[in-house]
């Protein structure tokens, strides 16, 4: 059984680490905030002093961090992963970052004899908790095969899509589809509500047809309850769409719909809702239409 290091115990990282502990893996963990570290240690993990210390005690090091600069600091910085990792160790970066940064970090890891996979996830907090995330992996096939069993503790699927960087390119595609789905759902549900039709019945009527989707089933019930507690924050989706737009522009791909949803999210950020769940995109439409898509109070 491989010794695993886990760096980054946020909304997603903490339940992912918990699932690895439940599966019997030996974990050493680190986060800049002491509270989640205490929770995971109480569940059976060991506490690392820093990223370097975690890496020194692990054969496989997993990072789950907010953005590209955080990954670079944790891996390449002072007391970072590469200062502690042994030759032959495997770094799995499960953060959602820019594909070019994944390639940059991997190149530095290879210089130290450390293999790397970029393996961002989709599914939000609920699927992180129940271990059914979708994991998109970039890297060498032989490295992926060594850790596939570990990944499948955290996800219902783990698919190797190409070389390092491919995982995050796939995640950008995923995030475009999710954002546009939430926006479409929001437009439709606000339209139905403003027209005087019960939004819950509209949802039940359309969810089994072609308009049905995982997004619809995950987000409409929350909107009906006015629950925008973050499973995946708007500010993090803004970060992902910024990476998507940058990548698209670099390679000459027009993404007008993505640009439009980005501006909706930016408007919500200005309105003080950056910390809301991305399902809270519906609030943008509700404000314009002067109607709320809610379940009637009994």
Q: What sign for the dihedral angle of Cα 49, 53, 57, 62?
A: positive
Interatomic CA distance for residues 7 and 17, integer angstroms: 9
Q: Active-site positions?
A: 171
Q: Which domains, ranges and CATH numbers included, belong to the chain?
A: 3-163 (3.40.50.720), 169-289 (1.10.1040.10)
Rounded to whole angstroms, the maximal C-alpha distance in the chain is: 64
Per-residue pLDDT tens digits for 51-110: 999 999 999 999 999 999 999 999 999 999 999 999 999 999 999 999 999 999 999 999
Interatomic CA distance for residues 186 and 220, integer angstroms: 9
- In sequence order, the 6+-apart residues with CB closer than 8 A to the CB of 45 are 6, 17, 21, 27, 28, 29
Per-residue confidence (pLDDT) for residue 231, from 0 to 100: 84
Please indicate, yes or no, whether the overall pTM of this predicted structure exceeds 0.85: yes
Per-residue pLDDT tens digits for 173-223: 999 999 999 999 999 999 999 999 999 999 999 999 999 999 999 999 999
- Strand ranges (E), 213-292: none
Per-residue pLDDT tens digits for 244-292: 999 999 999 999 999 999 999 999 999 999 999 999 999 999 999 999 9
CB 29 within 8 A of CB 17: yes
pLDDT class for 152, splitting at 50, 70, 90?
A: very high
């Amino acid at each position: 059984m491989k010794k695993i290091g886990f760096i980054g115990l946020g909304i997603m990282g903490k339940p992912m680490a918990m699932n690895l502990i439940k599966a019997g893996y030996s974990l050493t963990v680190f986060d800049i905030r002491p509270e989640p570290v205490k929770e995971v240690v109480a569940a059976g993990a060991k506490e690392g002093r820093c990223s370097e210390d975690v890496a020194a005690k692990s054969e496989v090091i997993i990072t789950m961090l907010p953005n590209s600069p955080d990954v670079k600091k944790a891996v390449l910085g002072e007391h970072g992963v590469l200062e502690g990792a042994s030759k032959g160790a495997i770094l799995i970066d499960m953060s959602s970052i820019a594909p070019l940064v994944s390639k940059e970090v991997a190149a530095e890891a290879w210089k130290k004899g450390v293999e790397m996979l970029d393996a961002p996830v989709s599914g939000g907090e609920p699927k992180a908790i129940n271990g059914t995330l979708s994991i998109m992996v970039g890297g060498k096939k032989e490295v992926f095969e060594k850790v596939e069993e570990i990944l499948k503790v955290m996800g219902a699927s783990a698919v190797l899509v190409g070389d390092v960087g491919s995982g995050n390119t796939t995640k950008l595609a995923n995030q475009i589809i999710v954002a546009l789905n939430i926006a479409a759902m929001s437009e439709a549900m606000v339209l139905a509500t403003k027209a005087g039709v019960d939004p819950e019945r509209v949802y039940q009527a359309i969810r089994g047809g072609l308009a049905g989707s995982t997004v619809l089933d995950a987000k409409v019930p929350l909107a009906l309850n006015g629950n925008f507690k973050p499973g995946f924050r708007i500010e993090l989706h803004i970060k992902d769409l910024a990476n998507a737009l940058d990548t698209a522009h670099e390679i000459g791909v027009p993404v007008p719909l993505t640009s439009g949803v980005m501006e909706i999210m930016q408007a919500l950020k200005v309105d003080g809702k950056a910390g809301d769940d991305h399902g809270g995109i519906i609030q943008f439409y509700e404000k314009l239409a002067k109607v709320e898509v809610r379940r009637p109070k009994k």
